[in-house]
């Protein structure tokens, strides 16, 4: 209760600096793509250990987050799985100068034990399997479409999930035989998901941009978090989670 009042008070006195930078008090709200859910929690913990700013995270599909920011959601930092959504926000002058902080590979994920015996991307044309992808509107769905085009198969998908997390969870519990997800999702699954490489020559590199929201009321603190993610400590945490360097 005391904490809450303090936060409310700090929010009401915005303009009165709490850290000497003209920032309002209160936590920095980070909007993060679904595929960043795990790593952003690690980044948050590491940042909070060296900075007295509180980080709050809201994770969802990049495109949904983009719409929320366009509709005035009080985010301070945006980190997406796709440069397209970020470009739209740049055009609308809603974010400052984004930087790519990570890359990711796409892969085939099957449940532990690979019960359906999926061997390659070609199995995505098999009607009798239960196969999944992301909806085309979210980045992982767009990347999957590119992959199917490159390989030249018509996928027999049984579901197009609204974000990559709901897709990976359905593979992990064995309801789907295979799905196209990010390589980092397989790494973060503790063995619930097994990755099957795409054919050599078929690769789509997902780029993750990060930026401070233009009308953030904590721009200095938000910039410190972005710098931390782009810096060496952020890099090593991202490395550990399997995200490539830009």
Partner 1 sequence: MIGRRRPLVLIALALVAVALFVLPLIGLLGVTPWSRLGALLADEVVVDALVLSLWTSLASAGLCVLFGVPLAWVLSRVEFVGRSFVRAIVTLPMVLPPVVGGAALLFALGRRGVVGQPLDEVVGFSFPFSVWGVVLANTFVAMPFLVVTVEGALSSLDGRHEGAAASLGASPLTVFRRVTLPMIAPSLRAGAVLAWARAFGEFGATVTFAGNLQGRTQTLPLAVFVSLDSNRDAAIAISLLMVAVSIVVLMALRSRWWSRAPIGLGS
Give the residue with the Cβ less far from partner 1, 96 or 160: 160
Which tokens hold the place of 242? Answer: 């399997």
Phi, psi of 126 (to 5 degrees): -80, 120
Give the residue with the Cβ less far from partner 1, 63 or 107: 63
Coil, helix or strand at residue 205 = strand
Phi, psi of 164 (to 5 degrees): -65, -30
CB of residue 13 to partner 1, shortest distance in Å? 31
**Alpha-carbon span 89 to 33, nearest angstrom:** 15
Give the residue with the Cβ less far from partner 1, 174 or 244: 174
Kindly list the residues in this chain that would bind partner 1 in the complex (CB under 8 A). Answer: 61, 63-64, 66-67, 130, 132, 135-138, 157-162, 166, 170, 173-176
Give the residue with the Cβ less far from partner 1, 63 or 216: 63
CB of residue 11 to partner 1, shortest distance in Å? 26
Which tokens hold the place of 196? Answer: 């099957």
Residues 44, 55 contacting (CB under 8 angstroms): yes
**Alpha-carbon span 29 to 218, nearest angstrom:** 9
């Amino acid at each position: 209760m005391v904490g809450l009042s303090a936060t409310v008070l700090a929010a009401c006195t915005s303009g009165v600096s709490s850290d000497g930078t003209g920032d309002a008090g209160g936590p920095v709200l980070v909007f993060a793509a679904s595929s960043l859910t795990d790593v952003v929690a690690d980044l948050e913990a590491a940042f909070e250990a060296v900075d007295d700013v509180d980080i709050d995270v809201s994770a969802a599909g990049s495109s949904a987050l983009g719409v929320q920011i366009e509709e005035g959601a009080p985010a301070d930092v945006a980190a997406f799985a796709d440069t397209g959504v970020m470009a739209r926000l740049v055009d609308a002058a809603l974010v400052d100068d984004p930087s790519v902080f990570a890359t990711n590979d796409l892969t085939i994920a099957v449940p532990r034990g690979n019960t359906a015996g999926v061997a390659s991307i070609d199995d995505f044309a098999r009607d009798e399997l239960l196969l999944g992808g992301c909806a085309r509107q979210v980045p992982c769905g767009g990347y999957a479409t590119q992959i199917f085009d490159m390989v030249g198969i018509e996928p027999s998908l049984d579901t197009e999930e609204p974000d990559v997390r709901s897709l990976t969870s359905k593979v992990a519990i064995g309801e789907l035989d295979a799905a196209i997800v990010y390589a980092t999702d397989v790494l973060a699954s503790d063995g619930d998901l097994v990755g099957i490489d795409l054919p050599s020559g078929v690769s789509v590199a997902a780029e993750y941009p990060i930026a401070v929201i233009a009308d953030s009321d904590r721009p200095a603190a938000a910039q410190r978090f972005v710098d931390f993610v782009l810096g060496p400590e952020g890099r090593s945490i991202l490395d550990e989670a399997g995200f490539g360097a830009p």
